[in-house]
């Protein structure tokens, strides 16, 4: 992104578990090769006792919201080259989201990395909790807000889907309410209004979905 006086690159990735040393090293190395300044990772399977070991491998700032050793967990990685001053960090108790207030290149930001539940019945309550937590943050009103992660639902039933049964989940309404309340846009879709690109694929039968934003 390049707006006003700041310039940095972001990435979001569902890691599907990085407790394994070799997989974690491979992902961290790949992220560095992309010249990414800030990376949102979901499904890290992190726990408190491994923090120092993982931080040694990354070198830059690393902020967690832990899940279990077999599920959930979100993580934000900051490049050691990025000019950043962390002001406040809040995570939930389940490893579903993390909020980070920071000054990046002297501009206030609120970063939100989330991993929404896969179960349909759990999604609306999750986004309700997320909206309430965001409202209670009392973040700097001048903050630029960036939300990323695995939402586990599509936003557009036509453009974000291929194959299988396609239906709009009630959680889409909740996401749209958050976007409206916080004046957010799906920047990728704005820049690619007619493009079909997917972040999740099942081969047999062939089903593709855009679930990550």
Q: pLDDT for 163-195, tens place per residue?
A: 999 888 899 999 999 999 999 999 999 999 999
Whether 123 contacts 171, CB under 8 Å: yes
| Residue 2: pLDDT band with limits 50, 70, 90 | very low
pLDDT of residue 5: 63
- Residue 14, pLDDT > 90, answer yes
Q: What is the mean pLDDT of residues 62-88?
A: 96
Cα gap 73→67, rounded to integer Å: 4
Round to the nearest angstrom and report the end-to-end CA distance of the chain. Answer: 15
Entry pTM: 0.94
pLDDT of residue 7: 85
All domains in the chain, ordered by first residue: 7-209 (3.60.10.10)
What is the pLDDT of the chain when averaged over all its residues? Answer: 94
The two three-digit tokens of residue 142, written as one number: 């001048």
- Residue 101, pLDDT > 60, answer yes
């Amino acid at each position: 992104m390049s707006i006003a006086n700041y310039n940095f690159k972001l990435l979001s990735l569902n890691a599907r578990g990085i407790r394994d040393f070799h997989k974690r090293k491979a992902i961290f190395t790949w992220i560095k090769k992309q010249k990414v300044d800030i990376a949102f990772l979901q499904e890290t399977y992190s726990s408190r006792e491994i923090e120092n070991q993982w931080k040694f491998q990354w070198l830059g700032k690393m902020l967690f919201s832990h899940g279990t050793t077999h599920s959930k967990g979100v993580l934000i990685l900051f490049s050691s080259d990025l000019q950043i001053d962390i002001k406040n960090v809040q995570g939930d108790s389940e490893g579903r989201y993390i909020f980070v207030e920071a000054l990046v290149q002297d501009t206030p930001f609120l970063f939100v990395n989330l991993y929404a539940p896969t179960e349909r019945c759990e999604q609306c309550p999750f986004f309700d909790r997320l909206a309430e937590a965001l409202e209670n943050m009392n973040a700097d009103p001048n903050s630029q807000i960036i939300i990323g992660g695995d939402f586990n639902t599509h936003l557009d039933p036509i453009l974000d889907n291929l194959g299988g049964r396609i239906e709009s989940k009630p959680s889409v309404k909740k996401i749209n309410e958050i976007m409206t309340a916080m004046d957010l846009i799906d920047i990728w879709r704005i820049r690619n209004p007619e493009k079909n690109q997917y972040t999740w694929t099942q081969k047999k039968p062939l089903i593709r979905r855009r679930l990550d934003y």
